[in-house]
Amino acid sequence: MADGDNEVDVLILGAGSGGYACALRAAQLGLSVALVEQSKLGGTCLHVGCIPTKALLHAAEIADATREAESFGVLAKYDGVDAAGVLAYADGVVSRLFKGLTGLVKSRGIRVVEGRGTLTGSHEVTVEGADGTVTLTGRNVVLATGSTPRLIPGIEIDGTRVLTSDDALRLDRVPRSAIVLGGGVIGCEFASVWRSFGTEVTIVEALPRLLPPEDAASSAALERAFRKRGITSRTGTSVTGVTTSDEDGGGVVVTLSDDTELRADVLLVAVGRGPRTEGLGYEEQGVTLDRGFVTVDDHCRTGVDGVWAVGDIVPGLQLAHRGFQQGIYVAEQIGGLDPRPIDERGIPRVTYSRPEVASVGLTEEQAKEQYGDDGVATLTYDLAGNGRSQILRTQGFVKLVREVDGPVVGVHLVGERVGELIGEAQLVYGWEAHPDDVAPLVHAHPTQHEALGEAFLALAGKPLHTHS
């Protein structure tokens, strides 16, 4: 291959959500693109993150529905969970999406280079693959190498009894009992799945509540719901020691900061994900790192001219859709467009547990820090007043946070399937809408979207199904 074929307009290191989105948009804008990936197109989200996790959560929903079917007048028998069958189902979903993505990338004329890429020059990536070594150059380089499960010093991962989230996704059995270290999104989702499959689950979280970044009301509602489901939450508690045991079939013993001991079949270490930047040549080429994360400005530019960074390696929310949007944003800047900067507060957040927790914008606490205690008004609408929620037998609420005499700056949701409502909530936030702007909108009946409509009616001073 001629040397000129190894020089492109956009050279992307990493083919996860941020990387492939950048590649697709750049190619759409007529730019030549090379995409370097050590594993598979789609990255963490498609293969060991969002997609397989949500497939497990759907299987868990079916398990719960089968177990509870008689209360709806449906005769069904729950005989347990076939772990291998669940994995096969999840693998099938991933395989179909991977095939579709591979075909899409190929159809756009994007060159995919398989192998481990290292930044060996400010605009140069050297790739070591099965077929040898190749050096690529790009007029623009986009760093999108994603993240890995964060580990805790002193806790040894063995993949069978002490697990990362990657290991948990491949577990070929349903554990009788599990300790989940970390009450964030990953920990709560796995706790929810395992409990639906019949596992006795205890969550250990060092901070005072589950889902610490969410509104305090949402955290409290999730903890109550988990408690009713039989999930134990030990918040404000840290782990001081972990040992594995071969007695009684093997398992783990976890010592807590209050000197109590917990025993279970498995321990899931779910304390977040760290940036995958070590040993990739970033700092050697002048890219500034802060605790492993790539330092960028509001436009995803690093301190090296023509070098950009997107996704989980950039400080902020580690969400696939954030990386996806950043990838598009960078491609459009490179393509000479003037895209609107991404509002980090406007990125929707969803925890797909049972019940789901979804939000966009500021929490009540954050709003009060910004506008003062007297500058914020809130309203909470209970899903008990929503017909569709009654049909689904879900409990939860819609909580609106607004600047007094100003727009709605935060929307927080708890309940089954409320993640499907976050799109409207995001539009309201991005629109900087006042309650009076949203109140006249017509919401289909019976839907959970009506709960949003009712909440905005009440906040606008026109409550129908709530007391004024």
Per-residue pLDDT tens digits for 162-176:
999 999 999 999 999
**Which stretches of 335-461 are assigned E, i.e. beta strand?**
349-351, 356-361, 376-382, 397-403, 408-415
- Residue 4 is predicted with a pLDDT of 56
- State the chain's mean pLDDT as an integer: 95
Report the SS3 class of residue 360.
Answer: strand
Is 186 annotated in a binding site? The answer is yes
pLDDT in tens, 19-50: 999 999 999 999 999 999 999 999 999 999 99
Is 189 annotated in a binding site? The answer is yes
- Residue 134 is predicted with a pLDDT of 96
Residue 152: inside a domain: no
Q: Are residues 142 and 41 in the same domain?
A: yes
| Arithmetic mean of pLDDT, 355-378 | 98
Backbone dihedral angles phi then psi of residue 180, each to the nearest 5 degrees? -110, 115
Find all residues with CB under 8 Å of 305, minimum gap 6, and list them: 122
> Cis before residue 348, ω within 30 degrees of 0?
no
Of 344, 370, 385, which residue constitutes the final position of a domain? 344
Q: Are residues 60 and 205 in the same domain?
A: no
Q: How many CA atoms lie within 13 A of 113 on its CB side?
A: 26
Q: Give yes or no for residue 467 having a pLDDT over 60.
A: no
Residue 21: inside a domain: yes
pLDDT band at 3 (very low <50, low <70, confident <90, very high): very low
Structure tokens that stand for 413 in this block: 């949701």
pLDDT in tens, 299-347: 999 999 999 999 999 999 999 999 999 999 999 999 999 999 999 999 9
The domain that holds 242 is classified in CATH as 3.50.50.60
**Domain containing 399: what range?**
355-459
The domain that holds 429 is classified in CATH as 3.30.390.30
127 to 6, 217, 276: CA distances (angstroms): 11, 48, 16
Q: Are residues 255 and 279 in the same domain?
A: no
Query: What is the torsional sign of CA 19, 22, 25, 28?
Result: negative
Q: Are residues 132 and 23 in the same domain?
A: yes
pLDDT in tens, 370-412: 999 999 999 999 999 999 999 999 999 999 999 999 999 999 9
Is 77 annotated in a binding site? The answer is no
Of 247, 271, 295, which residue constitutes the final position of a domain? 271
Q: Are residues 366 and 452 in the same domain?
A: yes
pLDDT band at 1 (very low <50, low <70, confident <90, very high): very low
Of 256, 271, 286, which residue constitutes the final position of a domain? 271
Find all residues with CB under 8 Å of 264, minimum gap 6, and list them: 175, 177, 178, 179, 200, 202, 251, 252, 254
- Cα-based angle 92, 37, 19 (whole degrees, multiple of 5): 85
Residue 204: inside a domain: yes
Q: Are residues 306 and 239 in the same domain?
A: no
Q: Are residues 26 and 128 in the same domain?
A: yes
Distance of CA 42 to the CA centre of its chain: 15
- Residue 463 is predicted with a pLDDT of 81
Is 125 annotated in a binding site? The answer is no
Residue 118: inside a domain: yes
Q: Are residues 31 and 128 in the same domain?
A: yes
The percent of residues above 90 in pLDDT, for the chain, comes to 95
Is 200 annotated in a binding site? The answer is no
| Arithmetic mean of pLDDT, 356-374 | 98
Q: Give yes or no for residue 5 having a pLDDT over 80.
A: no
Q: Are residues 323 and 377 in the same domain?
A: no
Q: How far apart are CA 103 and CA 306, in angstroms?
A: 29
Structure tokens that stand for 232 in this block: 């134990």
Active site residues: 445
For the chain, the domain total comes to: 3
pLDDT in tens, 245-301: 877 667 999 999 999 999 999 999 999 999 999 999 999 999 999 999 999 999 999
Is 146 annotated in a binding site? The answer is yes
pLDDT in tens, 70-80: 999 999 999 99
Residue 153: inside a domain: no
Q: Are residues 107 and 225 in the same domain?
A: no
Taking Cα atoms as reference points, which of 23, 3, 1, 27 lies closest to residue 12?
23
Q: Are residues 104 and 59 in the same domain?
A: yes
Q: Are residues 143 and 279 in the same domain?
A: yes
Residue 1: inside a domain: no
Is 182 annotated in a binding site? The answer is yes
Residue 466: inside a domain: no
The whole model's pTM is what? 0.95
Residue 202: inside a domain: yes
pLDDT band at 466 (very low <50, low <70, confident <90, very high): low
Residue 187 contacts residue 268 (beta carbons within 8 Å): yes
